[in-house]
């Protein structure tokens, strides 16, 4: 199969969808890999390294989209990429369709086979291609939150760890999944007082077992959230209902009850955010202020640490890429229920319930596309 790796063009996105070692593996199976010139630069992978692993370096992205049977990316196609995708071409990347009608309609129109990393789901309901980036984003959320709590960048002026004789900062984490646990681990490691909420009591039990006693677990409810936001310095949004828009757990009216300089890091922004006032931002302009509350809502947080993120992502995606390349998407999905769940929009038909429901579009049974 001809596999294309375009350079990511989203603002400040320096990750790349395949490493030189991934190219080498695909070559072993007889596949041909086209890598756009400079695609790996931001992650420390040179064109020469790709070439020595067996890739063909291509200068014009149009050539990659025209020739490749499968495009492997990191972020959803944007701008011109939306016009380059072809009918029947496999596009394997993060799509997060439910948060964008524009993207959904565009990919329906292109007729490509869109397999979304974020909905590949194992029988135990874990999301193997979301996990590595969630681990990065969860850890980063605390790093960013700690930074924006500093006064010169308009935060409350609180040191998360406190110092001897001064109480630590208070961190509220909404959602105790992968992002939530990693954030709790980092925040508690800094010495902050941490409260973490979820509606899944098994997750709360797990956290209670593995994290230190200054991480407090609480069942998530509107009533509890309304109270807790008033006393916490850093609020991290980390909820997910797979394939659908995140629920608005922090509503606009709650902002006025928070202390000035409170920081919200809404990691769930890529699913529409779990804070009503969440608007996607970029690494260039990551924050904005509403009612004296600082919002950080960067939709591609791991893009800021590409050396770490590219390796973490490709460790997880490569086995799926190899499987699709070796068998074709139909056989690969038929033999792997996790990959089958990644099918979102296939040749113009929406086959993923969460996407159809988000925009009231007709839902096609996945068997129709085989
Ligand atoms: N901004 C970024 O760069 C970035 C990077 C990675 C992941 N994410 C996003 O972060 C979000 C979380 O990802 P994850 O991997 O931790 O998901 P996850 O499925 O592991 O965890 C989500 C948790 O939210 C909980 N939840 C659902 N409804 C809730 C509610 N009402 N109150 C409290 N908890 C609730 C679930 O029970 C689950 O434990 C996702 O939207 C994901 O796309 C964003």
Burial of residue 306 (number of CB atoms within 10 Å: 0-12, 13-18, 19+): buried
Residue 54 belongs to a domain: yes
102 marked as binding residue: no
Residues of the chain scoring pLDDT < 70: 243
- On whether residue 123 sits in a domain, the answer given is no
Q: Which CATH number fits the domain that encloses residue 241?
A: 3.40.50.720
Task: Give yes or no: residues 106 and 164 share one domain.
Answer: no
Q: What are the phi and psi torsion angles at 206 (to 5°)?
A: -60, -45
Cβ–ligand 1 contact at 241 (below 6 Å) = yes
**Is the full-model pTM beyond 0.85?**
yes
Q: What is the pLDDT of residue 7?
A: 97
Per-residue confidence (pLDDT) for residue 99, from 0 to 100: 84
Q: What pLDDT, on the 0 to 100 scale, is given for residue 12?
A: 78
* 12 plus 148 within the same structural domain: no
| Position 58 in a domain | yes
Domain range for 318: 2-112+306-369
Q: Could you tell me whether strands 343-346 and 349-350 are parallel, antiparallel, or unpaired per DSSP bridges? A: antiparallel
Number of domains making up the chain: 2
Position 13 scores a pLDDT of: 85
Q: Are residues 297 and 245 located together in one domain of the fold?
A: yes
**Integer Rg of the chain from CA:** 21
Residue 125 in domain: no
Yes or no: say if 148 and 140 are a contact pair by the CB < 8 Å rule.
Answer: no
Write down how long the chain is.
370
Is 328 part of a structural domain of the chain?
Answer: yes
pLDDT score, position 292: 98
Residue 182 sits in the same domain as residue 278: yes
pLDDT at res. 243 = 63
- Does ligand 1 lie within 6 Å of residue 346's CB atom? no
Position in ligand 1 atom list of the atom nearest CA 266:
1
**139 belongs to an annotated ligand binding site:** no
**What was the pLDDT predicted at 241?**
87
Ligand 1 centroid, distance to 131 Cα (angstroms): 10
Taking alpha carbons only, the member of 232, 249, 355 closest to residue 293 is 232
Structure-block tokens of residue 149: 């709590």
| Domain annotation covers residue 338 | yes
């Amino acid at each position: 199969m001809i596999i294309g790796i375009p350079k990511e063009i989203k603002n400040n996105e320096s990750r790349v969808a395949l490493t030189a070692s991934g190219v080498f593996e695909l070559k072993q199976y007889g596949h041909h890999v086209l890598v756009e010139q400079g695609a790996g630069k931001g992650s420390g992978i040179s064109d020469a390294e790709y070439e020595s692993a067996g890739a063909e370096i291509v200068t014009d992205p149009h050539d990659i989209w025209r020739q490749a049977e499968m495009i492997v990316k990191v972020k959803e196609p944007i701008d011109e990429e939306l016009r380059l995708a072809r009918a029947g071409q496999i596009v394997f990347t993060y799509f997060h369709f439910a948060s964008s009608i524009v993207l959904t309609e565009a990919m329906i129109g292109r007729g490509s086979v869109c397999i979304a990393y974020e909905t590949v789901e194992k029988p135990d309901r874990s999301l193997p291609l979301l996990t590595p980036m969630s681990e990065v984003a969860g850890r980063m959320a605390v790093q960013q939150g700690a930074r924006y709590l500093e006064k010169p960048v308009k935060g409350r002026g609180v040191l998360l760890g406190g110092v001897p004789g001064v109480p630590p900062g208070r961190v509220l984490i909404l959602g105790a999944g992968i992002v939530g646990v990693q954030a709790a681990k980092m925040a508690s490691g800094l010495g902050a007082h941490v409260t973490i909420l979820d509606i899944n009591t098994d997750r709360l039990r797990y956290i209670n077992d593995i994290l230190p006693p200054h991480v407090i677990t609480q069942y998530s409810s509107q009533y509890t959230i309304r109270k807790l936001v008033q006393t916490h310095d850093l609020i991290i949004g980390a909820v997910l209902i797979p394939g659908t828009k995140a629920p608005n757990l922090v509503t606009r009216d709650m902002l006025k009850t928070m202390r000035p300089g409170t920081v919200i890091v809404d990691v769930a922004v890529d699913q529409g955010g779990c804070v009503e006032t969440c608007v996607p931002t970029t690494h260039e302009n990551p924050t904005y202020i509403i009612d004296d509350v600082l919002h950080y809502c960067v939709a591609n947080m791991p893009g800021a640490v590409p050396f770490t993120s590219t390796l973490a992502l490709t460790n997880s995606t490569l086995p799926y890429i190899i499987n699709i390349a070796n068998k074709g998407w139909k056989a690969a999905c038929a033999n792997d229920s996790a990959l089958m769940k990644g099918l979102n929009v296939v040749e113009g038909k929406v086959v993923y319930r969460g996407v159809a429901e988000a925009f009231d579009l007709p839902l096609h049974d996945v068997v129709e596309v085989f």
